[in-house]
Structure 1
Amino acid sequence: MADEPEITGTESSGTEAPEPTSSGAKNAGTNARTNSGANSGTEPETKPTAAGDAAPAGKIATKPTPARPRDTAWRRLAGAFRPHSSRAQVAAAVLLAALGFAATVQVRALRNTDEFTNADRTQLIQIMDGLQQRSRRLETDIGDLQRSKADLVSGADRRRSALEQAQTRAQTLGILAGTLPATGPGIRLTITDHQAAVNASLVLNTIEELRDAGAEAIEINDQVRVVASSYVLDGQGGIIVDGKLLPAPYTIDAIGDARTLATAMRIPGGVVDEVSQKGGLASVLERQTIQVNSLHSVVSPRYAHPAPDKSPGSSSR
């Protein structure tokens, strides 16, 4: 008989020994590295694997979480409302503010000059004529004063010139103070009041309007001379001027440029219109000669005294 080949192995184990392969060798190396990491007490370093590679043994493959997208629309909207200022914008703002201020001032100035808007052509011509006459009168006064100054400075007879100037000055002050009678061109204003609607306030406004128009002497009802210290009050049955009761109608004589004074009384919204609104009647007559004969009784002041002359180099506080 031919010899049968011997069968080597262990039958008692009941298992066959696996054949050694190259993959098995690789697994063995991997297991060895894994065991050495476990023995060292640290987890093995996990490296990212390429697509298609199998996950390491004992690990669950997870995908990387994508970053949360930013809401760029809201950020852009917030940036649009965020204030951004530059030097050019600041300069433009300052220029616009200055332009607005100048425009406001100009509008207010134009409003202030609209007081004669309702006046017709005839009334405007009268107002212009009155202003021109006042200007000529002031120019004449300036010329007289300059001639007087020249006579006092370079005149041959300075003493006589000084005496004449003093007399003229005393007469002027006497007329203005109401201690001397006066005569000259002017107007007579008559206010008729049947309803007792004309009060002291209206008469006082009339006096102020006459003074503003250049009246140099004023007399009421041929009885009271109006001066700087005069006062007007409401009384029973009339008005009280400087302590004297004057009944209606009221006659006011004023010496000055007749045309200018008449224009001031007839101006729209002036004395004539105001008296008419109160139910009275005001008439203005221009005359070449007005007589003002009432005199004002001068009373010595109780509180006011002449100020002492200032010495050279002294300063007042």
Structure 2
Amino acid sequence: MTDREEAERPPSEGGESPAPDVPENDLDVETNPTSPDPADLDVDHDPDHDHTADPGEPPQRRIKRPAPAGTLIWVLLALLGFTLVVQLQSNDADTGLSTARQEDLVRILSDLEARDTRLTSEIETLEKSKQQLTSGVEGREAALEEANKRSQELGLLAGTIPGRGPGLEIVMDQVKSSDVLNAVQELRGSGGEVMQLNGTNATSVRIVANTYFVDAAGGGIIADGVRLTGPFHLLVIGPADTMSTALQIPGGVVASVKSDGGSVTMASQSTVDVTAVRKASALQYARPVS
């Protein structure tokens, strides 16, 4: 191809002139021996941290930034280490019981059982209180009824209110105070609940737990400071058959009175009225324990 044909050749589609044909052997490429090798440069190619290093900064001073995933791993490792330390300390505390003496273990177990019993009792008390508080009017009425019933029972035992019920009517003649006391004790032991002693001189005494009997000068007996003359009528409320059998056992009250020249007669009654009462005495020293 002549020089004229080469000049008249149209340009390529890219708008660039074709490079002249130059043989590879004729290329004179000058390499710079002082240029650093790209492999020796510590350049961060993280796409998430696209930044341009300072051209004046030496390559060896460029520090590679840690990735977020690496930071999270270090945090998780620190938490795992802390958890292991706490677990080891807890295991050390538990091994204290394994090395304790048998006496100490028994004492610890006893304390725990006592605490469990106390807490159980407190729970039962609180549950009962809760039931009483939540029961409303019905609970208050039931509590009032129970209190009245208990008050009546205590009044009968204390002798402050009259009593009525089945029992025995006993007549004792030519007896001493010791005979009356033995009869009262036998009747109490066999189920006698409420008693009253009447004299022929229109006097009567309600017999309670602290009643005493002594012989009176000139005949008769003194019961709780009141003089009574015989024959004596002893009224008692309780199981008639049981009380009658107790008084008639061999060597008992009836046999003793007969041997001393006296007499004892008994009659079962479907209804015995005990009308004698006592005044309630105020206690000076004793107080109820709540």
User: How high is the TM-score relative to the length of structure 2?
Assistant: 0.50
Match of 1:205 in 2: 182
Shift of residue 235, structure 1, vs aligned partner? 0.6
Q: Is the alpha carbon distance of 1:249 and 1:164 closer, same or farther for their aligned partners in structure 2, counting shifts above 3 Å?
A: same
Shift of residue 261, structure 1, vs aligned partner? 1.1
Which structure 2 residues correspond to residues 161-240 of structure 1 after superposition, within 5 A?
161-193=142-174, 198-221=175-198, 223-236=204-217, 237-240=219-222
The CA distance in 2 between the partners of 1:159 and 1:223, in whole Å, is: 40
The CA distance in 1 between the partners of 2:269 and 2:279, in whole Å, is: 27
The CA distance in 1 between the partners of 2:173 and 2:244, in whole Å, is: 17
Q: Is the alpha carbon distance of 1:181 and 1:307 closer, same or farther for their aligned partners in structure 2, counting shifts above 3 Å?
A: closer
1:250 aligns to 2:227 (yes or no): no
Match of 1:266 among 248, 251, 266: 248
Question: Kindly, what percent of the aligned residue pairs are identical?
Answer: 39
Match of 2:141 in 1: 160
Amino acid at match of 2:204: Q
The CA distance in 2 between the partners of 1:202 and 1:217, in whole Å, is: 19
Q: Deviation per CA, 1:61-82, whole angstroms, max 9, x where unpaired?
A: xxxxxxxxxxxxxxxxxxxxxx
The CA distance in 1 between the partners of 2:269 and 2:222, in whole Å, is: 27
Match of 1:314 in 2: none
Which structure 2 residues correspond to residues 1-317 of structure 1 after superposition, within 5 A?
157-193=138-174, 198-221=175-198, 223-236=204-217, 237-302=219-284, 304-306=285-287, 309=290
The CA distance in 1 between the partners of 2:237 and 2:259, in whole Å, is: 27
Q: Deviation per CA, 1:28-56, whole angstroms, max 9, x where unpaired?
A: xxxxxxxxxxxxxxxxxxxxxxxxxxxxx
Return 5+ residue gaps in structure 2 as ranges. Answer: 1-127
The CA distance in 2 between the partners of 1:299 and 1:207, in whole Å, is: 22
Q: Is the alpha carbon distance of 1:168 and 1:283 closer, same or farther for their aligned partners in structure 2, counting shifts above 3 Å?
A: same
CA contact (8 A) 1:155 1:161 kept: no
The CA distance in 2 between the partners of 1:168 and 1:301, in whole Å, is: 22
The CA distance in 2 between the partners of 1:281 and 1:267, in whole Å, is: 15
The CA distance in 2 between the partners of 1:238 and 1:171, in whole Å, is: 33
SS in 1 for 2:227: strand
Shift of residue 229, structure 1, vs aligned partner? 1.5
The CA distance in 2 between the partners of 1:211 and 1:199, in whole Å, is: 19
Q: Is the alpha carbon distance of 1:244 and 1:163 closer, same or farther for their aligned partners in structure 2, counting shifts above 3 Å?
A: same
The CA distance in 1 between the partners of 2:213 and 2:173, in whole Å, is: 18
Shift of residue 279, structure 1, vs aligned partner? 0.3
The CA distance in 2 between the partners of 1:211 and 1:253, in whole Å, is: 12
The CA distance in 2 between the partners of 1:254 and 1:274, in whole Å, is: 20
Shift of residue 307, structure 1, vs aligned partner? 5.3
CA contact (8 A) 1:182 1:292 kept: yes
User: How high is the TM-score relative to the length of structure 1?
Assistant: 0.46
Shift of residue 308, structure 1, vs aligned partner? 5.7
Shift of residue 305, structure 1, vs aligned partner? 2.7
CA contact (8 A) 1:231 1:242 kept: yes
Amino acid at match of 2:236: A
